[in-house]
Structure 1
Amino acid sequence: MNIVIVPDSFKECLSAKAVAANISIGILQVFPKATLVEIPISDGGEGMLESIAYGIEVKLVTVEVMDPLMRNIEAQYGILKDKKTAVIEMAKASGLELLKEEEKNPMITSTYGTGQLIKDALDKGCTKIIIGIGGTATNDGGAGMVKALGARLLDSKEKLIKEGGGYLNELHTIDMSNFDERILQCELVVACDVRNPLTGKNGASLVYGKQKGGKTKDLEQLDANLTHYAKCIDATLGIAVANIPGAGAAGGTGAALLAFLKGKLSTGIELMMETLQLEEHIKNADLVITAEGKIDGQTLHGKTIAGVAKLAQKQHVPVIVITGNIDDNIEEIYTMGVCAVHAIVNKPMNLSEAIAQAPNLIQQCAKNIMGTIAPFARN
């Protein structure tokens, strides 16, 4: 039996690579002679760099940058073997995973470190940048990123505004005179897993602000600040970003990548599948197993499971999904070629217990799936 294993990470629990390894362990307990191909994948968020480095040749570069709270850290990005293409995972410098729970606060977190990674790639001669913008701790509209690239965001007294989404309402003038124009000569491809606009009820702040640590009372202010920010961008650059699908990705960084850096938004999972040549692996498979930490209504729109399922359906290969949690409204996923969805939790337990036991739970779930298939496969 030929099985392709294509999981995303279980956020704040296991990397995609670790999920794939544990699925394999469970499969081999039932089918010890199965041919397994592990392809850890990401939809553009955390794990993107690891996924690409696992699948193709990449030189990893380590840079000292600022984390979301403007503390010095080391972050990595990759350069492909053509020596001209950089792969940047925004979460490495500006990710939610870099902060403790009590440190999460989109009013003050910044994307400055992401801008430093981009600048380093330009310094090393890269002329194409693939940047994945999921998993961030920020809601600053990419303001920190463009500051790191030389833009000056000034208040009414011509002083630089502070870092974080909570200070965007103080923006009065955008000075582009020292902006690093090398980025405008660079092909910038943005791997984006959401289609949210920058502002409004479906925008960055009101939809994602809370999971970044935003207090309920702050979310309306963050949205209003991004609305003001969008007006300043339009006045300076002549680009109306507020309602562009995807502009709200990564706390509004999608808007800055479009307006300041002239990037092109691409569906993250489709870009990753193409880069890793996933369809070639699926063509000869008997079964595809994909996985993600949670399945909900968003899974159907640009997320890993939906992307993998559609590709497998094209090749007439059945798909089984393993997940940590099954939410409501997932019925449509069965029209995409998914045969079954299995949650790993096998008895009552709280989230911390499930996270602690995740490797064993994934192994046992994969083993049970293969046990169900075994009588039919052998016949």
Structure 2
Amino acid sequence: MSRYVLVAPDKFKGSATAADVAAHLAAGLRAGGVLALELPVADGGDGTLDAALAAGFRRVPVCATGPTGLPVHTAVAVRGGVAVVELASVSGLVLLPDGPDPLHATSRGTGELLRAALDAGATRIVLGVGGSACTDGGTGMLAALGARFLDAHGVELPDGGGALADLHDVDLSGLDPRVAETEIVLASDVDNPLVDAPAGYGPQKGATPADIALLERGLARLADLIDPAAARLPGAGAAGGVGFAALAVLGARMRPGIEVVLDAVGFADALAGAALVVTGEGRLDAQTLHGKAPAGVAAAARAAGVGVVAVCGVCELDDAQLAAAGFAAAYALTQWCPDEHRCMAEPGPLLEEVGRMLAGTSLVGTALI
């Protein structure tokens, strides 16, 4: 097979899915006479499920409990014995209909998705935990898998991190036994311990200083009853403590989100036939350089000796930062259309124009020789 340009972007948040971005860029490249292979990616947050489905995973629909208790229609992605579960699709901040609810938002739906993955025959589960609405220490997730969290009278606590200050006992005897036989990979770039979760991420979930103090007491109580040492592990604070529950109770191991997703979607195999990689996201900025998808794609491609260019809506990185991250060049849609709002509202034609332009550059021409 002739070599091709591998198009592996993340989503343009609030504008286009990763699959849409890849499709438009690839269409532009093909219009310029260049072979292109689409492989949307994600970093473990929202978009992870879509990336797995675009890579050939089978969609298994699930109706699960949303962060406020209302039902959410979502899915898990399954291929062979591997399943991909995206917390954001069921316990995500974007699913709060009336705004943040830091004391009551629950991770219960994430546990229901894990159970659905087990029901589908998964023996390895990738759990992407970015974009959570909850700070419940993963108790909702564990409750959906059979755990019980009791007050001093033996009554089960209501969902949400605000109730954990009254936690008296944890009963894990009813935990789904299939968990012990399943490899669970926590896809996360958060390296905070559990105690840092409320103060570090609570404000973006709507937590007031008083809420943060209450959540900290509850999570400290949870850690004391389950595994104080695990609470101090890097990543235990991911997704409001879902990381702690996964590491301490489910036996998960943590890996950087983008690395896990690249493995799951078969990036290495696709890279083997690539002459050049095109990646990107809506905004290239300082956060991009710390575990976001484009930086992970660039690192993997560079390690394989394949050049990488980035396409984005807006670029806030200078040439030195781009070069240090492994990008040969970066192209922002605002170079073609200075109106950022229009770039977000109508990215498709602009992305195709960028693709056609790339097809005619020496970066593509030289790579394909």
TM over 0.5: yes
Tell me what 2:16 maps to. 14
1:345–1:137 CA distance, 2 compared to 1 (3 A): farther
Q: Deviation per CA, 1:263-311: give whole Å up to 9, x if none.
A: 1112221122223332232234332110112333332233211211111
Give the TM-score of the pair, scaled to structure 2. Answer: 0.87
Structure 1 residues 314 and 374: CA distance shift in structure 2, 3 A: closer
1:359 aligns with 2:356: no
Give matches, 1:167-206, under 5 Å: 167-200=163-196, 204-206=197-199
Work out which of the residue numbers 219, 228, 234 in structure 2 matches 1:226. 219
The answer to whether the Cα contact below 8 Å between 1:269 and 1:304 also exists between their aligned partners in 2 is yes
Partner of 2:41: 41
Contact 2:358 2:364 in 1 (8 A): no
Matches within 5 A, 1:1-379: 2-29=4-31, 31=32, 33-56=33-56, 58-81=57-80, 84-100=81-97, 102-200=98-196, 204-215=197-208, 218-234=211-227, 239-327=228-316, 331-346=320-335, 349=339, 353-370=342-359, 373=362
The one-letter amino acid paired with 1:130 is V
Mean Cα deviation higher: 219-228 or 304-313: 219-228
Distance 1:47 1:232, change over 3 A: same
Supply the distance in 1 between the matched residues of 2:343 and 2:205 (Cα, whole angstroms).
Answer: 22
Deviations 1:229-254 (A, max 9, x none): 322322xxxx5233211112222211
Q: Specify the code of the residue in structure 2 equivalent to 1:49.
A: L
Secondary structure at the counterpart of residue 199 of structure 1 = helix
| 8 Å CA contact retained: 2:62, 2:75 | yes
SS at structure 2 position matched to 1:75: strand
Gaps spanning 5+ residues in structure 1: where? none
Distance (whole Å) between structure 2 residues aligned to residue 338 and residue 313 of structure 1: 9
Cα distance in structure 2, aligned partners of 1:285 and 1:173: 54
Superposed displacement of residue 149, structure 1:
1.2
- Kindly provide the CA deviation profile for residues 141-165 of structure 1, in whole angstroms up to 9, marking residues without a partner as x: 2110011111111223322222222
Instruction: Summarize deviations over 1:21-45 as a string: whole Å, max 9, x none.
Output: 122233345x2x1000110011122
Give per-residue Cα distances to partners, 1:82-128, cap 9 Å, x unaligned.
xx33322222221233334x423222211101111222333344333
1:279 alignment partner, SS class: helix
Amino acid corresponding to residue 139 of structure 1 in structure 2: T
| Structure 2 residue matching 1:338: 3-state secondary structure | coil
Provide the rounded CA distance (Å) in 1 between the counterparts of 2:338 and 2:55.
Answer: 37
CA deviation map 1:155-199 (0-9, x unaligned) = 233222222222222222112232222211222122223323222
- Asked whether the equivalents of residues 76 and 116 of structure 2 are also in contact (C-alpha less than 8 Å), the reply is no
For residues 330-357 of structure 1, the C-alpha deviation after alignment (integer angstroms, 9 at most, x for no partner) is 954522321223332345546x654323
Q: What is the CA-CA distance between 1:17 and the residue it aligns to?
A: 0.3
Rounded to whole Å, the distance in 1 between the matches of 2:180 and 2:44 is 22
SS at match of 1:157: coil
Q: How many Å apart are 1:219 and its aligned residue?
A: 3.9
Distance 1:222 1:331, change over 3 A: farther
How far, CA to CA, are the matches of 1:368 and 1:217 in structure 2? 53
SS of the equivalent of 2:45 reads coil
Letter paired with 2:331:
H
SS in 1 for 2:8: strand
- What is the CA-CA distance between 1:371 and the residue it aligns to? 5.5
Rounded to whole Å, the distance in 2 between the matches of 1:163 and 1:95 is 15
Q: Secondary structure at the match of 1:109?
A: coil
C-alpha contact 2:44 2:188 (8 A) present in aligned 1: yes
Question: 1:70 Cα deviation (Å)?
Answer: 0.6
Deviation at 1:67, TM superposition (A): 0.8
Q: How many residues align?
A: 365
Q: CA RMSD in A?
A: 2.8
Measured in 2, the distance between the counterparts of 1:362 and 1:212 equals 33
Deviates more, 1:19-28 or 1:308-317: 19-28
For 1:173 and 1:302, locate their aligned partners in 2 and report how far apart those are by CA, in whole Å. 37
Look up the equivalent residue of 2:152 and give its one-letter code. Answer: S
Contact 1:297–1:329 (8 Å) recurs in 2? no
Question: Structure 2: where are the runs of 5+ without partners?
Answer: none
Between the aligned partners of 2:299 and 2:29, the Cα distance in structure 1 is 23
Higher mean displacement: 245-254 or 163-172: 163-172
The 1:364/1:232 distance shift into structure 2, 3 A limit, reads farther
Q: Residue type of the partner of 1:158? A: G
